[in-house]
Copies of this chain bind each other. A is one copy, B any other.
Amino acid sequence: QAETSVTLYGLIDAGLVYQRGKVGRTDGARPQYGGDYQSRLSTGANQQSGSRWGLRGSEDLGDGLRAIFVLESGFSPTTGRSGQSDRLFGRQATLGLAHDAYGRIDLGRQKNVASNFLKGIDPFELDFLQATAGTAFSAANSVRYDNAILYHTPVWGGFQAAVGYSFEFDQDRTLPGAFENDEKNRAVTAGLRYASGPLEVALTYDQQFRHPSAPQPKQAILGAAYDLEVLKISAAYGYTKDGLLSGQDIDLVAGRNNPNTPARGTGTTNQDFTWKGLTVHSYLVGLSAPVGASGKVLGSYQRADPNKNLSATDVYSLGYLHDLSKRTNLYAFASYANRAAFVYGNKMTTVGVGLRHRF
């Protein structure tokens, strides 16, 4: 064993968060919380980035081939608990082979393509609680799949493609007695990215194959960002069918319109939701701009507009980052979500400040 081949790294993000919200008349959480405004101030974990510690390494096997691995453990710094449903390496656990000419293949638990390729297009980099573009674009909501194989091409003239498949994306959601492949919850993920000079464009497609009789949620996203140096602007459009791939869990609200009528959808629009025939059009416009040598301001507006008499969610977000060093920064952000989780009357304001440190 050569100890030198492995890098131990990590990130901790902790701060304070103020939340104030209201639960709409048809939201599933109304019986629990009532309809008045509720608010709280508490510690805020993982607002800008998920806290993690990890091990990663690379070994040169000759002829342009490398063995590569990442073991990345997510946790909450405010409770010390493991994240990702109490997985040890819940953020990523992959072993792979990379070749200069033929690309890279990774096997294990990992993020889908959309959650990687759209990170650079969302000014909030798919983070900051409800401000993430994942609120409107569920396939980019840091979706992670167990038992996945993901292939990335090399970068050719700025272009890179990726395609992946998960044999069983979460065993906790597998029905008892499932053995054969088509009895498992599977997923396909694919994307194409172009990045050159100031321009970045990403196109992704995700589809889940759930238990045989369940709807199969799918989403296509097209996003682009252009860096004018004084300002970086971005925009994205997404089309969703038959369900959300991974809803954004906004505290307080639940979202399901009618929990007693499964014909009106399964699950909660706040987390995991399928409904045969559901379509959602998602939009994002965003900007970010440097402020002085160590500051950066972020802003975005996103909308997810569903059919089926659900209401369109609007989210307005503003943030500020301030570097204390290369590895440490402060942040502050505010976000207002109206008709959160597709329910009229749901409102949620989130204001957070925090410190992020990488090692």
Tell me the A residues contacting B by CB distance below 8 Å.
1-3, 5-10, 12-15, 32-33, 38-43, 53, 55, 57, 59, 61-62, 65, 67, 69, 71, 73, 75-82, 84, 86-95, 97, 107-109, 146-149, 167-168, 171, 176-177, 179-181, 184, 251-252, 324-325, 327-328, 355, 357-359
Contacts and interface: CB of A to CB of B under 8 A. Distances in A.
Given A41-B181, A107-B43, A75 B55 contact: no
Q: Count copies of this chain in the complex.
A: 3
A4 to B, nearest CB: 9
A179 to B, nearest CB: 5
Contact of A59 (B89, B180, B327): B327
Given A2-B327, A95-B357, 20 more contacts: A1-B358, A1-B359, A3-B8, A8-B55, A12-B71, A12-B93, A14-B107, A40-B181, A53-B71, A57-B359, A67-B325, A69-B357, A71-B75, A75-B88, A76-B93, A77-B95, A80-B84, A80-B92, A81-B88, A107-B355
Given A43-B149, A69-B357, A358-B1, A81 B77 contact: no
Nearest to A357: B67
Contacts of A148: 43
Contacts of A171: 79
Contacts of A92: 80
Contact of A10 (B53, B55, B176, B358): B55
A94 B77 CA distance: 6
Contacts of A147: 42-43, 78-79
Contact of A167 (B41, B69, B71, B184): B41
A217 to B, nearest CB: 21
A95 B12 contact: yes
24 contacts: A1-B358, A2-B359, A3-B9, A12-B71, A14-B108, A40-B181, A42-B167, A43-B148, A43-B149, A55-B359, A59-B325, A62-B325, A65-B324, A71-B77, A77-B89, A77-B95, A77-B107, A77-B108, A78-B93, A78-B107, A78-B147, A80-B91, A82-B88, A107-B355
Main secondary structure on A side of the interface with B: strand
B79 A13 contact: no
Nearest to A34: B177
Given A59-B328, A355-B67, A359-B57, A79 B3 contact: no
B69 A80 contact: no
Nearest to A329: B67
Nearest to A7: B3
Contacts of A67: 324-325, 327-328, 355, 357
A331 to B, nearest CB: 13
Closest 8 CB pairs of A and B: A80-B89, A80-B93, A80-B87, A42-B167, A43-B147, A80-B109, A12-B95, A79-B146
B108 A42 contact: no
Nearest to A57: B359
Contacts of A12: 69, 71, 93, 95
